[in-house]
Amino acid sequence: MRAAIEAVPVQEPNIVTVAEMLARAFYDDPSVIWIEPDSARRARMLPVFYEVGTRYAHLFGEAYTSAGNIEGAALWIAPGSGDFTSDRMAAAGGNRLSAAMGPEAFGRFVALTRHFGRLRKAAMPSSHWYLNVLGVEPSRQGMGIGSQLIQPILQRADESVLVCYLETMKARNVAFYRQHGFEVVVEGNLEDGSHYWTMHRYAQGTLRPRKSI
């Protein structure tokens, strides 16, 4: 059954609620398990982790959720925003992350962010939309909510002839994003063998470059 939702910008009063939903959505995601393998510590840190991420997108990109009940969220970093900076992280409350995550998990988070940042910089030298997070309430997954939440920015990217970019460490997400025009850029492994994919999506109707990355 496909759920019909209206994608609307996240408002400041809803940031914590969105973060709590994302904490549930990503509890068993390979990326956050890699950052914090211990289930109890992961459950404690994720609400703060996603509150900072939601606030960052709210301030420096676009954050969408469902109107009414919070059933999912898409967090985008806007074209021209560049790398995550310490000043912007501080504005989003990033100074809370180290204490909430603990030194080991925080170190792994920084390492993962830098690794993916290098891949994104190599693949995307031009202005682009970066889908940092897309998550749906676990009980509502598989109903098309994620597809509807990314549509506003996909449409804007098409209108502006801009590329969209993302990373995922979950195999089933690759097929999902391919349905929306994304293609794999890099498929690789972290040092412990954890698998990942980076993907990009050219504006629909434009020619793909022939040069491989």
Q: Among the listed ranges 14-18, 94-98, 115-119, 157-161, which one has the minimum average pLDDT value?
A: 94-98
Domain boundaries, the chain: 7-201
Condensed to tens digits (0 to 9), the pLDDT of residues 118-173 reads 999 999 878 999 999 999 999 999 999 999 999 999 999 999 999 999 999 999 99
Q: Supply the CATH classification number for the domain 7-201.
A: 3.40.630.30
Prediction pTM value: 0.91
Task: Write out the chain in H/E/C secondary structure.
Answer: CCCCCCEEECCHHHHHHHHHHHHHHCCCCHHHHHHCCCHHHHHHHHHHHHHHHHHHHHHHEEEEEECCCCCEEEEEECCCCCCCCHHHHHHCCHHHHHHHHCHHHHHHHHHHHHHHHHHHHHHCCCCEEEEEEEEECHHHCCCCHHHHHHHHHHHHHHHHCCEEEEEECCHHHHHHHHCCCCEEEEEEECCCCCEEEEEEECCCCCCCCCCCC
Give whole-number Cα distances, 126 to 7, 83, 138, in Å: 27, 13, 35
What is the average pLDDT score of the chain? 92
| pLDDT value at residue 208 | 56
Most confident of 90-94, 174-178, 203-207: 174-178
CB-count burial class (<10 Å; 0-12, 13-18, 19+) for 68: exposed
| pLDDT value at residue 211 | 40
Condensed to tens digits (0 to 9), the pLDDT of residues 51-66 reads 999 999 999 999 999 9
| pLDDT value at residue 207 | 55
